[in-house]
Structure 1
Amino acid sequence: MGFFNKAYHPPGTAPGTLTERPVEAPRPPRIRLTEYAPDVFLEQDIATPADCKPYLESPSITWIHVQGDVSADTLRNLGELFELHSLALEDVLNSGQRPKLDVYGEQYFIAVNLPEFGNGGIAVQQISLFFGRDYLISFSNAVTDPFEPVRQRLRNSGGKFRQRGVDYLLYTLLDLVIDAGFPMFERFGETLEDLEAELLGKPDRSTLNRIHQLKRELLLLRRSLWPQREVVNALLRIEQPFMTDETRMYLRDCYDHSVQIMDLLETYRDMATGMLDVYLSSISNRTNEIMRVLTLIATIFIPLTFIVGVYGMNFSHDTSPWAMPELHWYYGYPLIWLVMILITAGLLYYFRRNKWF
């Protein structure tokens, strides 16, 4: 599902050791630098982390985004340049972290999860963020850059984005990641409606498979997205000069969105569980209907089988007066048919009167 991939922490290695697992088809990382201020905007690709050094002493906001499969060497170089903590760098390399906020002095590290639809279903990509007073470094191994809408806003010189600090940039990125869940849950809602229509019709094995697939995806999303509201809540408690009251107000709105997504997630999980119960009840009812029909048929044939069995013994009345005189009756055969038809009609009338079918 694109969630646990490529990197790991071998047992026994020192904390903060950057050890990467070979990737079959690695995508070279693309490092994009964006520098902005009210009257400054610069956007360019850089070849190595060392090319960022001239911008460290700039009073502008510096945003570095690393897109693709970042290597351990690239992380080490960025870590040395920005004095990033080795434990946080290890969390970047080992994707699949639980969403969290770590504090390293005046430097902060955030790991959040970005949900998206892939070819095989739901995929969850880790987004890693380092930020300080006037810089932000983001990492994403998604195929496409998820933050392109933010860049478009920064390119707009008439907007107020460039007049704000790194705290507003951080809020904007987090808001994009969290709001990515809303269109996904709209599709979940459509899927649930389709499944509900199938359940009211004639559900089959494919319906059950789709319900199980939906439950697995919702479980993955719950595990991936549930802690993110804790991250936003922790950000609200940060006491730093660069974290303004205005940004806290926006972060509270971001927190509300994360709560709404969790409410949707829990609602859809309950609906999926209820659909599984409905499916099992539907199959059970269908089985009961089949058994009832078979029971009615068997009940009708019990007296008929008894009559046929008795007269199928063929004890001749010529041999013994205790045998069957009906075997030599002229109308014996049609009379037996008449009796069996009357018995069948009587049973059907009785079943119908009692609403058994």
Structure 2
Amino acid sequence: MKEFDITRPDKLILTGLKSLVSLPLNLYTEQKSKAKGSGKVSFIGEKKLDEVSVQHYQYNKDELKVNEVEYNLDFVKEENDKLVHWLNIYGLHDVEIIQDIGQKLGMDRITLRHVLDTTLRPKVEEFDKYLFFSIKSILNDEDKSLNVEQLSFILGKNYVVSFQEEHGDHFDHIRNKIEENLGLIRSKRSDFLVCQLLDAVLDNYYETIEWINTEVRELEKQVFADPTQELLIKMERMKQVTQTIKKSLSPFKDSLRLISNRESSFITKEAKKYFLDLMSSCNGAIEEINSTANSLESLTNIYFSSLSQKMNETMKVLTTVSTIFIPMTFIAGIYGMNFEYMPELKYRYGYHIVWGVMGLMFIGMFIYFKRRKWL
């Protein structure tokens, strides 16, 4: 393992930050430049699935149909359709398929670009035929790395279309509620469904924050017990994770506030109370991650204070030892001079006397330093 210069914590921090390969720091600048240059709708991000797949739920209180083979968007034209449709698309890399879906949904070209851009900041936009949501889902993987996924939602009068980068378990409990007819979801409209989907994403944030808090508690124990260079790198990594979550949660909250404070033809007054509750939960998540960030900052300060304290203790011991031996070194230096006429050199017991004096000085100074608690 590479040795770090402990006297330069700024270099150590920089080295640690460069090692955080699991954090989503790639903004795909080159892909964006090519997309702008070509003028075409392009996918911006990392291909995470080999093929695009779909899952189509059609339901009401008494009826349920599930199709995982192909998608049929005829429900967009059926204004009097009594079913709620949830079309979930896995994979965003196939631009032709996404464009075909967008064309049948009547999606604006700007919305298509937003769906295909995985670096997009969370936002909400209302169009004539639909309401568009774009958010980030953040969840820690089994290898303790942070997985950030772009999720987009199209909310219509009787349907919700969700776009995911990859297969995930974000909405498994919602599918179970639909299939088993649990709760209110089968008796509500599409605005309630999208609220449930957003709530599931927010649950992922809480789960990730809880994981971070557990890691911070472990770091706290280690910092007080044995502050090492590896701990500092872990703390800096956790800081990067908290910053990523904060940057995603703030616009998420702004989007929910916008929905709650404006009139929309796609969200009923009855459903607004659920969005208000969701915004309250989002506020709680923001407060929790801010508290976690403050704890990490405090731990970093404690780390450097501990190092400073250790350095002071070491310097105190070295100084005390040096102080004890300086007088003895002085005596030894005097009698080490090569002058011919030094009376003490003729004493028969001079050697033993000098050793006795030095021994008494050592014992006396040792007892004095002990009483002063310098040793």
TM-score, reference length from structure 2: 0.87
Cα pair 1:65 1:138 within 8 Å, conserved: yes
Looking at structure 1, the residues matched to 207 and 34 of structure 2 have their Cα atoms a distance apart, in angstroms, of 40
Distance 1:129 1:22, change over 3 A: closer
Deviation at 1:24, TM superposition (A): 6.7
SS in 2 for 1:125: strand
Residue 62 of structure 2 corresponds to 39
Residue 356 of structure 1 corresponds to 374
**1:116 maps to which of 135, 139, 143:** 139
Which aligned pairs between 1:1-357 and structure 2 lie closer than 5 A?
A: 1=22, 3=24, 4=26, 8-10=31-33, 13=36, 17-20=40-43, 26-47=49-70, 49=71, 51-53=72-74, 56-57=77-78, 58-118=81-141, 119=143, 121-157=145-181, 159-316=183-340, 323-357=341-375
Cα pair 2:106 2:129 within 8 Å, conserved: no
Distance 1:218 1:204, change over 3 A: same
Distance 1:158 1:309, change over 3 A: closer
Looking at structure 2, the residues matched to 258 and 22 of structure 1 have their Cα atoms a distance apart, in angstroms, of 26
Cα pair 2:123 2:255 within 8 Å, conserved: yes
Question: Is there any run of 5+ residues in structure 1 with no aligned partner, and where?
Answer: 317-322
TM-score, reference length from structure 1: 0.91
SS in 2 for 1:227: helix
Deviation at 1:83, TM superposition (A): 0.5
Distance 1:202 1:22, change over 3 A: closer
Residue identity matched to 1:164: K
Distance 1:277 1:157, change over 3 A: closer
Deviation at 1:46, TM superposition (A): 3.5
Residue 320 of structure 1 corresponds to none
Residue identity matched to 1:65: N
Cα pair 2:149 2:165 within 8 Å, conserved: yes
Question: Is there any run of 5+ residues in structure 2 with no aligned partner, and where?
Answer: 1-21
Between 287-296 and 182-191, report the one with greater CA deviation.
Answer: 182-191
| Paired-residue identity, % | 26
Looking at structure 2, the residues matched to 14 and 202 of structure 1 have their Cα atoms a distance apart, in angstroms, of 54
Cα pair 2:47 2:93 within 8 Å, conserved: no
Cα pair 2:235 2:300 within 8 Å, conserved: yes
Deviation at 1:145, TM superposition (A): 4.3
Distance 1:296 1:2, change over 3 A: closer
Measured on the aligned residues, the alpha-carbon RMSD in Å equals 2.3
Rg larger in 1 or in 2? 1
SS in 2 for 1:33: strand
- Number of matched pairs: 349
